[in-house]
């Protein structure tokens, strides 16, 4: 079961990861995070469908943080490439996207990306706040 959302900034992306790491029913989730100039695309994949109550709770939580997202063809190809085992670096080169994290949810990936990005710019854009 896949859930795809657009989130406005790094803080809500970190909240999503924290939720996934701390909830028992989300322990086996995998996560793909892509940074774009205007925000973050987060794809959460569960190995099996969530029970209806958990599904509703997860959707409610995610809807508080962002909006459901329908990817363009290029991003569909990015997700497909990652799911078929292609390396994130290869996918980033081919499709010119910033794959920040793929696989087990990890807060360190987001923090490292945010730190490197702002260091290079010399300021912190709104999407990285």
In the Cβ-directed half-sphere of 10, how many Cα atoms lie within 13 Å? Answer: 22
Q: In what order do the strands lie in the sheet with 2-7?
A: 66-68, 2-7, 39-45, 30-36, 98-103
The residue with greater pLDDT, 68 or 123, is 68
**Predicted pLDDT of residue 27:** 74
Max Cα–Cα distance, the chain, nearest Å: 46
79 assigned to some structural domain? yes
**Residue 99 phi, psi dihedral angles, 5° rounding:** -85, 105
Residue at token pair 């360190």: 108
Interval 71-98: pLDDT, tens:
999 999 999 999 999 999 999 999 999 9
**Predicted pLDDT of residue 127:** 76
115 assigned to some structural domain? no
13 assigned to some structural domain? yes
Query: Domain range holding 48?
Result: 2-105
117 assigned to some structural domain? no
118 assigned to some structural domain? no
91 assigned to some structural domain? yes
Interval 12-60: pLDDT, tens:
999 999 998 988 877 788 999 999 989 999 999 999 899 999 999 999 9
**Predicted pLDDT of residue 117:** 80
As for how many domains the chain has, the answer is 1
127 assigned to some structural domain? no
Residue 71 belongs to domain with CATH number: 3.30.70.1950
Q: Let me know if 52 is exposed, middle or buried by CB neighbors in 10 A (0-12, 13-18, 19+).
A: exposed
114 assigned to some structural domain? no
**Predicted pLDDT of residue 26:** 76
């Amino acid at each position: 079961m896949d859930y795809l959302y657009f989130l406005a900034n790094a803080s809500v992306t970190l909240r999503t990861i924290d939720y996934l790491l701390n909830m028992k029913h989300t322990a086996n989730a995998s996560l793909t995070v892509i940074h774009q100039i205007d925000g973050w695309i987060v794809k959460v994949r569960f190995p099996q469908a969530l029970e209806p109550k958990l599904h509703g709770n997860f959707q409610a939580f995610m809807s508080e943080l962002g909006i459901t997202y329908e990817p363009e063809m290029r991003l569909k190809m990015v997700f497909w490439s990652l799911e078929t085992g292609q390396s994130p670096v290869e996918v980033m080169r081919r499709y010119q996207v910033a794959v920040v994290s793929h696989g087990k949810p990890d807060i360190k990936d987001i923090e490292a990306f945010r730190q490197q990005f702002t260091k290079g710019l010399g300021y912190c854009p709104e999407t990285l706040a």
